[in-house]
Chains A and B, each alone.
Chain A
Amino acid sequence: MAASSNQIVFTGTDPNDETSLLDILDHVLNAGVILRGNLVISLAGVDLIYVGLDVILTSVETAMQHMQKKILPPAQKH
């Protein structure tokens, strides 16, 4: 929960606090070790290159939809 003194606001790492939520997402997406120069997400053979926050959130979901289509069995002809 955010507390303030004068104009200083103190936030923690509680995702229920909206201000903290933004900090959390910024941290998990932008801070930390990356495996390669470009972050490459490889899901079931689909390679996606991270170029920004919005793209990565969209691309992972899109990739998961793509994965779902790929694993559906082909229609059988009789």
Chain B
Amino acid sequence: MPILAYCMTEPAFSPHSPLTGVDGAAVEAIEAGGVRCFYSRVPEESSGTRAQDGALAFHRVLQEVFAQTAILPFRFPTIVEAEPELTAHILEHAVEYRRTLVRLRDLVQMEILIQANPTSRKSEESSGAQYLRKRLAQQKMLETAAEGLRTRVAFLVQGWRQRESKDGLRCFMLLGRGHVSQLRAALSGVQLSPDLGVRVSGPWPATEFVNED
């Protein structure tokens, strides 16, 4: 029977109570190579569950486990034919997964999305060159804002990564699990240009920091 993989944890972890996953399936666990992996069985017949509801059920399992320990989540939906295939994958990467779980053990990821406000994004330029100049100026504004926010929280954050996206500039912060409230408080006092909008979300599993580069 196909199985849906949720996340990996250190082997010592055991959830406080039984977990229920997608389609109401019981979440089970296997241990391989010093890594514990949580999964549930995929019914052979379609239950009629909408894909979005399945994704949210998947998220709830991740959140329940993540509230208790660091996790390496799988992307949804990662489905394999049976337990042996999942075990084989974990064993192949066990050293890397173990090392990452130990390194990220007490750490979480917070995210900042910095966007130019819609009115300032509206383009009234008459030429392509003017449009490009405006885009560059906006990009510079986003990066300057990111630098200011980064400076503001530098005393709390162990890692910072950022990348452009179609939605704006995304910044990822790695910090101690117990410092989330302090981070929100530090960011609350920041004064921003009225041309910018900033959204802070999290805490999330530290997936942006899985690679140490």
Residue of B nearest to A24 (CB): B59
Count of interface residues, chain A, beta-carbon cutoff 8 Å: 40
Residue of B nearest to A12 (CB): B201
- CB-defined contacts of A24 to chain B, threshold 8 Å: 55-56, 59
Establish whether residues B74 and A32, one from each chain, have CB atoms under 8 Å apart when the complex forms. yes
Contacts of B198 in A (CB 8 A): 7-9
Asked if residues A9 and B197 are in contact (CB atoms below 8 Å), the reply is yes
Chain B residues with CB below 8 A from A10, complex form: 184, 187-188, 199-201
Bound complex: CA of A65 vs CA of B49, how far in Å?
11
Of A7, A8, A67, the residue contacting B45 (CB under 8 A) is A67
Q: Which residues of A contact B208 (CB under 8 A)?
A: 31
The answer to whether A60 touches B77, judged by C-beta atoms less than 8 angstroms apart, is yes
Whether B78 lies near A6 (C-beta < 8 A) is: no
A15 B201 Cβ-Cβ under 8 A? no
Are B75 and A6 in contact, CB atoms less than 8 angstroms apart?
A: no
Encode contact with B along A35-46: 1 for CB under 8 Å, 0 otherwise.
100010111100
Q: Are A42 and B51 in contact (CB under 8 A)?
A: no
Determine if A28 and B80 form an interchain contact, defined as CB atoms under 8 angstroms apart: no
User: Is residue B196 contacting chain A, with contact meaning CB distance below 8 A?
Assistant: yes
Contacts of B77 in A (CB 8 A): 41, 56, 60
Across-interface contacts of B201 in A (CB, < 8 A): 10-13, 20, 23
The residue in chain B whose Cβ has the minimal distance to the Cβ of A25 is B55
Is there contact, CB below 8 Å, between A35 and B51?
Answer: no
Besides A8-B190, A29-B76, 20 other A-B contacts (C-beta < 8 A): A5-B189, A8-B187, A8-B188, A13-B63, A13-B201, A13-B203, A19-B199, A24-B59, A25-B55, A31-B204, A31-B205, A32-B74, A32-B205, A33-B74, A35-B89, A39-B75, A41-B77, A56-B77, A60-B54, A61-B50
Q: Kindly list the 8 A-B residue pairs having the minimum CB-CB distance in the complex, ordered from nearest.
A: A64-B46, A32-B73, A31-B207, A28-B76, A32-B75, A57-B51, A5-B188, A8-B198
